[in-house]
Structures are given as C-alpha cells and as structure tokens.
Structure 1
Amino acid sequence: MSRICLFNHVRESVEMEAIYTQGIWAAETLQQRTKNLEKFWLVITHLGDPKAAFLFVFPFTYFISKRAGIAVLWVAAVSEWLNLVFKWMLFGERPFWWMGESGLFVNTQPQVHQFPSTCETGPGSPSGHAMVTAAVWWVVMSSLGSSLYARTRSVMISATPYVLYVGMLVGVGISRIFILAHFPHQVIAGSITGFLLGVLLSGRVPERRPLLFFFRLSIGMLLSALLLYFGLQQVGVDLSWSIALAKKWCSRAEWIRLDTAPFSSLTRDCGALLGLGLAQYWKPNGWSLPWAPRSLCLALSSMGLYHVNRLPLPVRPQGLFYGLFFVKFVLVPQIVMVFAPGLVYLFTHKTKKD
C-alpha cells in the first residue's frame, strides 16, 4: 500500500510540475505578444485588487443603490476571508518564485520579467484577485442587469452587464498571469469559486442586523483564522513559507509590501465588517438624498478613502501595523455611509431652509 501511495504522490507531483511549466510558458507568450498592452494589464490588475472592492466599487455602488453597496462590502469581505483560508489549506506556488525554486529553467530561461504588483507574499491558489472580482462584480452586474430588465423588458439590453462581467473576469485573469502573480489554473479556480460565492452571498445581505451580529462575525472570522494558522503550525505546517520565497525571488526588495501579507487581508475583512455594523448602528436607514447630492457624497467619500488609504503605517512592530490596518478599514464604511452623506445632508438641508 505504501508503494502505491508513493507512486501516486510522485505522479501528482509530475502532473503539477507539467501544469506549472505550461503556465510559465503561457506567461512568457503573454508578455511577448501583448507587450504594448503592459500599462493596460497593470491597470486591470489594480482594478481586480481586493482592496479596490472596498475603496472603489463599494462607494460607487452604494450611492446608486444602498442595498447593492452593502452587498458589495459584505461579499468582498467574506470572499477574501475564504480565499485566505483556501490558500492556507491548498498552498499553491506563484510563478515568480516557482521558476527559481524548481530548477527546471537553468538552460532555457523564460524571457519574463516582474512588476511592482508581482511580489505578493501569500500562497497562490486560488487567485484572490480573480475570486474577489468574480464575487463582487457579480453583485454589481446582476443588480444592473435586473434593473435594466425591469426598465426595458429587453433580454438583449439586460444581458449586457453579464457580458461585461465575463470580460472583466477574463481581463483580470490575463493580467495576473501576465505579471507572474498566478498560474492559469489558479485564476480559473478563483473565478469559478468567486462566481459561486457571489451568487450565494448576494441573496444573504446583512441589512439592518444588530451591531452584535457584526461584532461576533468580525471576531469569529479573526479567531477562526488565527486558530487555523496556529493549529497548522502545531502539526508542522509552516504557513510563512510563501513569505520567505517571495522575499527570496522578488526582483526588488521594495516590491515586498506588508499590506499584501495574508494577515493584512484578514484584518481588512474583519475591520470592514465591524465598520459596516457600526455604520448601520449610527444611521440604521442611511441618509435619504436625491441624485445630485449623492454625486457630491461620492466625491467626498472618494477623497476621504484616498487619504485614509495613503496614511503611512509603521511596519514595526507588525502587531501595531495590523491593528492600525484593522482600524483603517473600520473607518471605510463610516466615511461612505455616515460621514460623507451626513455632511452633504447637513449643508443641503440648511440651504433649503434658508
């Protein structure tokens, strides 16, 4: 029996090696044939960053539809948290370090290069960019498709958002392969998983739930992830292996950023959900504003989020960094749902009275 298990393990290793090798050559082909689209792919990969779901998609959607905006934040946080759990359990190499570690490209070195967004420090499977993009943009596009159908009763017009959705997933997936952040199978796995999560979670939006629900959810997600992390360490699984490889094989040391580390995504998700609960606690029904003031709200909240996101955080000690990172994303829903619309309501209401 042991010989059979050993044979199966060797066969699986050879199969994965072949998949990884084909992924490297696919990245080389992409970089060579679409070299003139380099800036485009870099923009697309930034749009697919899970952080963009919190700082860009959420406020933009919220001021069009409150429920859809809350759904975006909810789906982004849960899908990114699940992505972290999957990565810790599935491991998964990244192309930029696997090329060096495998030792298969000594004689035939692929003509590829890295970018500032390449050197993420978490495991590679499944792709977080693809997974969160698929989940979040399903909420946006399905809401838009339903709205268009209700207004026009045209299947062709209402299908347009879904076509854009598929195009978005393909674009993000290609961009991740292009910059050597993921292998093709990791992108496909992330896209499928994210789509399923988007469909599942978009019908379970926690509107008007008590603050205690969000507090328990945030703490529960944080503690369960920590228990998984330390539990795996106790059985001999070193979950910092990917960080060491990223530092070893990244072209430039400054491209290794702490905000791409696994615990950064964990604190972002837990902070955003607690912030969502606080925002609904302070103003349960939100602010009722017409379309023109909502545009001003979007502008104000975008400026606020831009400056909050750019706040420099101390990277030592790391506990302080993660604590402040948590607070930063607790503030995100407050800025969008409470502070910005509250200020606009205050000034427009005074103007109407005058």
Structure 2
Amino acid sequence: MEDIHTKGIWMAESLQQRTMSQEKMWLVITHIGDPKAAFLLVFPFTYFFSKRAGVAVLWVAAISEWLNLVFKWMLFGERPFWWIGESRLFINKQPNVQQFSSTCETGPGSPSGHAMVTAAVWWVVVSSLGSFLYSRTHSVALSAAPYLLYVVMLVAVGISRIFILAHFPHQVIVGSITGFILGIVLSGRVPEGRPLLFFFSFSIALLLSTLLLHAGLEQLGVDVSWSIALAKKWCSRPEWIRLDTAPFSSLTRDCGALLGLGLAQYWKPGGWSLPWAPRALSLAISSMGLYHVNRLPLPVQPPGLFYGLFFVKFVIVPQIVIVLVPGLVYLFTHKKKD
C-alpha cells in the first residue's frame, strides 16, 4: 500500500499544479458530492419530479452513507493530508501540495464517502430520468444522455477529492464502484408506503448495530477514533476540523432521515397531489427552508447534545419536503369545486 499511497500523493501534487486556477470549481464539485447534499439538495429536486424517485434518493443516501461508515471502520483507510506527515517518506522531498477548508475530514479514508454516496444516489436520479425520457421520446440516444452525465459527475467528484487531499485515487475508485452497485440494488427496494414502525425499527437497528460494532472494536483493542487524532494533528487550520464530518454525524444524519421519512409518509401517505406549477413553487420554498435548517448553528459541547440536535435536524428534512411545504402550497393554490 505504501507504493500506492506514494503515487497517489504525487498524482495529487500534479493535479494541484496543473489545475490550481480551477480551485473554486473543484471546491464546488466536492460540495455537490458531499453526502449531505444528497439529503438537502438532490432529495427535494428529485421528489418534486417523481415522488417514488425522491423517496428512493433519501433511502439510498441513508443506507449507502451508513454502509460507508461501517466500511471505513473496518478498512482503516488513510487520508493523504495526514499520511504525508505520518509516513515520514517525504522528509527529503516534500510534495508541493496545499490543504483546503474541505480537506480535513475526521473519518478514515477508504472508501470515499463522497464517491460512494454520489454514485448510489445519482444512479437513482439518472435511471429515473433515462426511463422518463425514453417513455416520452423512445429515443435511445436521448435516454442514454443522463448516464453519460452520470459518468462525468463521478469522475469530477473523484478528481475533486484527490485535488483537495481528502482521498487517494484508489479510495475514490472503490467508492464509486461500491456506490454504483448499491444504487442498482437499493433502488429496486424502495420502502414507499411502508408503516411508521418499519422506519422506526430500521432507524433504531442502524443506530444500535453501529454502537455495538463500535463497542466491539474497542473491546478488541481497536482505537476507532484513531483518524480523528490524526486529522487534528495534521490539519493546516484547527477551524477546518468540524464535528459534522465526524463518523457519528453521518450515523445520526442517516438514522434521523430514515425516521423522518417514516413520519412524513405516516402524516401524509402518498404525499400531496400537485400540478407542475405548485410543485415548482414547493421546490423553491423547500430549498430555502432546508438551506436555513442546514445553517442553524448547533452547540458542539457536549458532543452528545450536538449529535442529538443533528439527529433532529435531519428528522425535520423529510417533513419540510413531503408534508409541510407541499401542504401549505396545496392549501393556497387548490381551487375548491362548487
């Protein structure tokens, strides 16, 4: 692995030197590939196009991110920004690389969560869009266009993660392949219309199984928090270390979103039936609502309070998109029959 890591560092150096003028573009792309974007950006846009596809996006995002957390704990992947210093292989010749505000994630590096969740979630989007285009046009070429964009997006997200020193190339490739497989498998098993008990049980099961895995690894003498210490040690700026990139933030986000999805379908089974114009209005209002929910500052001490509020934040997300905003739009735009 040492040789693979070393080549990955020199690849990142070359990439930064050749494309540093596109720094802002890479940072935007890495934000688009953030698993959080699947919940706050892709989910509402997809839901108001197709309710089933929207539910599938939230479902696939939560399960794929949870699996990514489990894989990371089991695989102990390094990250470039700390491996450069820890390896002690570059004492005589330091690579000419720099870190960015999105570099210093605290979880292990393998596989890439950005690549894995992006591949899984956007497979749902492009397959739904491809089917829609084919049903309307019967053009194979036109319906294949979303799949081409899918490949371009995966490549772009992968390059952005290498560029900012968050991942090695092999971690991006493994994440993309794993996410692609998960997207195909999970999109065919969407829990649309399932009872609230299913989502409550599933959310609790994910939470408890992860805590048990964490406790079990610690009992075996495995330091599950090893990556957090390295991230703090080698990050260029302490303020770039954020609690919302910690492994347990991913867990609480996934469990909260799944419980929220169950609650939303319980409050309003099937969602609200809206024409295209009210749907567009609902999308705009939902996006603004989610933007402000995401920006709500949470206390980082004690960590348990942060994780609890982070959980609640993502329970709220499906309520805004599926129940509250479409319900208000329906109330104000629906014309009663005489």
TM beyond 0.5: yes
Match of 2:170 among 161, 185, 196: 185
Q: What is the aligned partner in structure 1 of residue 271 from structure 2?
A: 286
Separation (CA, whole Å) in 2 of partners of 1:297 and 1:338:
10
Residue 28 in structure 1 maps to residue 13 in structure 2:
yes
Match of 2:158 among 164, 169, 173: 173
Q: What is the aligned partner in structure 1 of residue 293 from structure 2?
A: 308
Separation (CA, whole Å) in 2 of partners of 1:107 and 1:242:
25
Separation (CA, whole Å) in 2 of partners of 1:149 and 1:343:
33
Match of 2:139 among 154, 157, 164: 154
Q: What is the aligned partner in structure 1 of residue 65 from structure 2?
A: 80
Match of 2:258 among 269, 273, 282: 273
Q: What is the aligned partner in structure 2 of residue 299 from structure 1?
A: 284
Match of 2:56 among 71, 84, 87: 71
Separation (CA, whole Å) in 1 of partners of 2:40 and 2:90:
40
For each residue in 1:126-170, what CA deviation from the matched residue of structure 2 results, as whole angstroms up to 9, or x when unmatched? 000000000000000011111111111111111100000000000
Cα deviation, residue 35, structure 1: 1.2
For each residue in 1:86-139, what CA deviation from the matched residue of structure 2 results, as whole angstroms up to 9, or x when unmatched? 000001000000000000001110000000000000000000000000000000
Cα deviation, residue 352, structure 1: 5.4
Q: What is the aligned partner in structure 2 of residue 44 from structure 1?
A: 29
Separation (CA, whole Å) in 2 of partners of 1:220 and 1:274:
11
Q: What is the aligned partner in structure 2 of residue 204 from structure 1?
A: 189
Alignment of 1:199-348 (within 5 A): 199-348=184-333
Separation (CA, whole Å) in 1 of partners of 2:95 and 2:181:
35
Separation (CA, whole Å) in 1 of partners of 2:35 and 2:134:
29
Q: Radius of gyration: which is bigger?
A: 1
Q: What is the aligned partner in structure 1 of residue 40 from structure 2?
A: 55
Identity of aligned residues (%): 83
Separation (CA, whole Å) in 1 of partners of 2:48 and 2:303:
35
What is the root-mean-square deviation in Å for CA atoms of aligned residues?
0.9
For each residue in 1:14-53, what CA deviation from the matched residue of structure 2 results, as whole angstroms up to 9, or x when unmatched? xx00000000000000000011111110000000000000
Separation (CA, whole Å) in 2 of partners of 1:133 and 1:285:
26
Q: List gaps (5 residues or longer) in structure 2.
A: none
Separation (CA, whole Å) in 2 of partners of 1:22 and 1:150:
46
Q: What is the aligned partner in structure 1 of residue 95 from structure 2?
A: 110
Match of 1:124 among 85, 109, 122: 109
Aligned length: 338
Separation (CA, whole Å) in 1 of partners of 2:20 and 2:206:
41
Q: List gaps (5 residues or longer) in structure 1.
A: 1-15
Q: Secondary structure at the match of 1:34?
A: helix
Name the aligned partner's letter for residue 38 of structure 2: A
Name the aligned partner's letter for residue 231 of structure 1: G
Name the aligned partner's letter for residue 182 of structure 2: L
Name the aligned partner's letter for residue 286 of structure 1: G
Cα deviation, residue 241, structure 1: 0.4
Name the aligned partner's letter for residue 214 of structure 2: Y
